[in-house]
Amino acid sequence: MILVGGQSTRLRPLTSTVPKPVVQLVDRPFISFMLEWLRGHGVDDVIMSCGFLADSVRGVLGDGSDLGIRLRFVEEPEPRGTAGALKLAEPMLDERFVMLNGDVLTDLDLTSQIAQHEQTGARATLSLVAVPDPSAYGLVVLEEDHSVRDFVEKPSSDRIETNLISAGAYVLERDVLELVAPDRNVSIERAVWPLLIGNGLYGFPSESYWLDIGTPARYLQGTFDIIEGNVKTTVLERLGSDWLAIDDGAEVRGRVIPPAVLERGVRVADGAHVGSLVVVGRDVSIGAGSIVERAVILQGARIDEGCELRDCIVAAGCRVGARTKITGGAVLGEGVSVGADNVITRGARIFPGVQLPDGAIQF
């Protein structure tokens, strides 16, 4: 079961018009990476717990047959929390199942986590990853046998005894659902895990890749990690040994530096410089002399001549006027039109449909 019911406000404006599970990440809907990872570990039946724009998620993903899985949906009538959403899906769940946070990009070894769960006789096994700054997270303290001893929320430096946090992948026995009241907003982290300490709650420490794609900066980082091969995905097969995936239907007259992905219908004009660390979606045009580095440009966007785009995200259908600079983590939402000679930087977020005339912003 994958929890995808939130509105993903931290990722706006990308999620202002598109639900996060189907926001494009490199060359596919974001949630497809999780579904392919699950299939690789033998999971063939997935329940999506949806809320915000649920019909859009269902419309894009269908029944899962294209991915070789059975995909079913359950829709929260109102926000139920992580445990409440799980309880809503109870009639669809097996005696043992996996519960996942749908915000995560990972390649952790789920097969080994399930094996440990069986070996220890656990009721719940939480995947755990190490973080460099433990003080910013809720920490999970383990005994030597990997049973959970305690949870410590954003501790002061003198209380830090571990750097392990929850990675949002849980192997659960069905009887855990008996601890959740029906038809209520309940957090599994706050209401269920404490009841299981000393009663079948275990952790599975992992050194695998893990990233919460919850902000524009992390969306970019996830994109770069995928096309650099830092996380194991099937995108690597497209990139090949030269770390370039340029569709046969793209027209490239300028220079492309790997790693980069250019989809069908992309047009790169003379003198343009694209890459490294760039994803360019279908039917995007990049004008003469423009520079695009460390950026994502989504379907149908038009970048005029002499532009500079670095460390930014440009959503579908945008227009960027000549000589405009978009840098420093800035994000343009769907259908934004920016005139010539603008400078947009410092993490600015321009929401869908906004139109800026020539020279309107000079950060």
Whether 298 contacts 280, CB under 8 Å: no
Task: Classify the phi-psi angles of 158: left when phi > 0, otherwise alpha if psi is within -120 to 50, otherwise beta.
Answer: alpha
- Return per-residue pLDDT of the chain as tens, 363 residues: 998 866 667 778 887 877 777 788 999 888 889 999 999 999 999 998 876 556 667 777 778 888 888 988 888 777 788 888 888 888 998 899 999 988 889 999 999 999 999 999 999 999 999 888 777 778 888 899 999 998 887 766 667 778 898 888 999 999 999 898 887 888 888 889 999 999 999 999 998 998 888 889 999 999 999 999 999 999 999 999 999 999 999 999 999 999 999 999 999 999 999 989 999 999 999 999 999 999 999 999 999 999 999 999 999 999 999 999 999 999 999 999 999 999 999 999 999 999 999 999 886
With left for phi above 0 and alpha for psi between -120 and 50, is residue 336 left, alpha or beta?
A: beta
Structure tokens at 237: 């097969």
- Res 54: pLDDT: 62
Distant-in-sequence, close-in-space partners of 191: CB < 8 Å, separation ≥ 6: 83, 179, 180
Question: Contacts from 271-275 at CB under 8 Å and sequence distance 24+?
Answer: none
pTM for the full predicted model = 0.89
Q: What is the pLDDT of residue 333?
A: 94
> Can you tell me whether residue 266 is helix, strand or coil?
coil
What is the structure's pLDDT at 157? 67
How far apart CA 117 and CA 41 sit, in angstroms, is: 15
124-130 and 210-212 strand pairing:
unpaired
Amino acid at 248: D
Hunting for tokens 């360019």 — which residue is that? 280
Concatenated DSSP letters of 65-124: GGGTSEEEEEE-SS--HHHHHHHHTGGG--SEEEEEETTEEE---HHHHHHHHHHHT-SE
Residues 69 and 13: their CA atoms lie apart, in Å, by: 31
For each of the domains in the chain, give its residue range(s) and CATH number, in order of start: 2-214 (3.90.550.10), 217-356 (2.160.10.10)
Query: How many contiguous H segments (helices) and E segments (strands) does the chain have?
Result: 7, 31
For residue 29, what are the β-bridge partners? 24
| Structure confidence at residue 8 (pLDDT) | 63
Closest by Cα among 100, 84, 271, 65 to 170: 100
- Residue-level pLDDT at 59: 74
Q: Which residues of 49-69 are buried (b: 16+ CB within 10 A; e: fewer)?
A: bbbbbbeebbeebeebeebeb
Tally Cβ neighbours within 10 Å of residue 76.
19
The structure tokens listed for 278 are 């760039």
To 10 degrees, what angle do helices 54-61 and 30-40 make? 60
Q: Is 3 helix (H, G, I), strand (E, B) or coil?
A: strand
